[in-house]
Amino acid sequence: MWLFLVVAFVISYNATSRTSSLREYLTPPVLAGGCVALFLALFAFFFWRIRRWGATYHQGVSFSSAGDEREAARCYEEAARQSTQGTQRAVSVTMAGQSLLTLGEAARALELFGSAEHSSSLRRFVPAAHQWLPNLIAHAYFLQGELSPAREWLEEGRKRAGKLPPSYALLPEVSLLCRDGQHNAALALLAARANEADALAGRDTRRLKLLKAFALDAVDPITHALDIDATLAAARLGRPDDFEALSSRWPELRAFMERRGLTTPVAA
């Protein structure tokens, strides 16, 4: 900014020094005042852009809190376009991807996550988001039926987390265990990390309940009949399409849902 002002001052002074009348009027104090005015105008412009970004971003947060992930994604993507620097854009893109992933739109979410992952801004300035982003990427790959990349990104998430508690890892971890037929391990994981499961909200909470019921049914549907019914009752509280992305490439889960009367549209 200051370099721009100095260059503007030098150019203006040299240009006006060729005309005596302008040189007499545009004295160094006048030019300095002009530079100050220009600086203030630019400062006001960038401040307005930052305020605009903040307003749009926080509108997205409000929509997310209200469970309207479609509008939240729209606001976050608009905030990314309004961003004034890399950190704002990376955070906005990540949040947009998370909202779309919640809606089951894994392909678009992966595009946005890829953009954020290739930016150094998250790693440098928002380390928490850099830590849990691989777990979101893992879940997106799982929804697309790409299990090997899902496992690789979960491992990357563990490396980044170190000794810190994992974030957004429980759903893809339980999904993979159930998909691999390790239903007892999935139930043990849900029990061990019950606090993490309780911290999730909306669709992801219901998806975990569906997976718990699926695992209980696979282990012993008679012994766990009451627990299965209670868990599915909680899972049914959401939208009919909450489980579409999770079950569309998972025949066993879809068969369980149909058998239990919990139908969902199947993606073509």
Q: What is the pLDDT of residues 136-160, one digit of tens each?
A: 999 999 999 999 999 999 999 999 9
With a CB cutoff of 8 Å and minimum separation 6, the contacts of 5 are 35, 38, 39
Average pLDDT over residues 165-192: 94
Token pair belonging to 128: 């928490």
Could you give the CA distance from residue 166 to residue 160 in angstroms, rounded to a whole number? 9
Structural domains for the chain: 79-93+102-168 (1.25.40), 177-268 (no CATH)
Higher pLDDT, 12 or 220: 220
pLDDT at residue number 166: 81
Could you give the CA distance from residue 109 to residue 234 in angstroms, rounded to a whole number? 27
Average pLDDT over residues 79-98: 92
Average pLDDT over residues 78-101: 92
- Range list of H helices, 144-201: 147-161, 170-179, 183-192, 194-199
pLDDT at residue number 267: 40
Q: What is the secondary structure of 252-266 as a DSSP string? A: HHHHHHHHTT---PP
- Residue 165 — very low, low, confident or very high, per pLDDT cuts 50/70/90? confident
Higher pLDDT, 49 or 255: 255
CB 180 within 8 A of CB 154: no
Average pLDDT over residues 41-60: 72
Higher pLDDT, 238 or 214: 214
> Element (H or E) spanning 232, and its range?
helix 225-235
Average pLDDT over residues 59-77: 92
Average pLDDT over residues 209-219: 97
**pTM, full prediction:** 0.80
Token pair belonging to 143: 């929804």
Q: What is the pLDDT of residues 103-137, one digit of tens each?
A: 999 999 999 999 999 988 888 999 999 999 999 99
DSSP conformation class of 250 = -
pLDDT at residue number 265: 45
End-to-end CA distance of the chain: 53
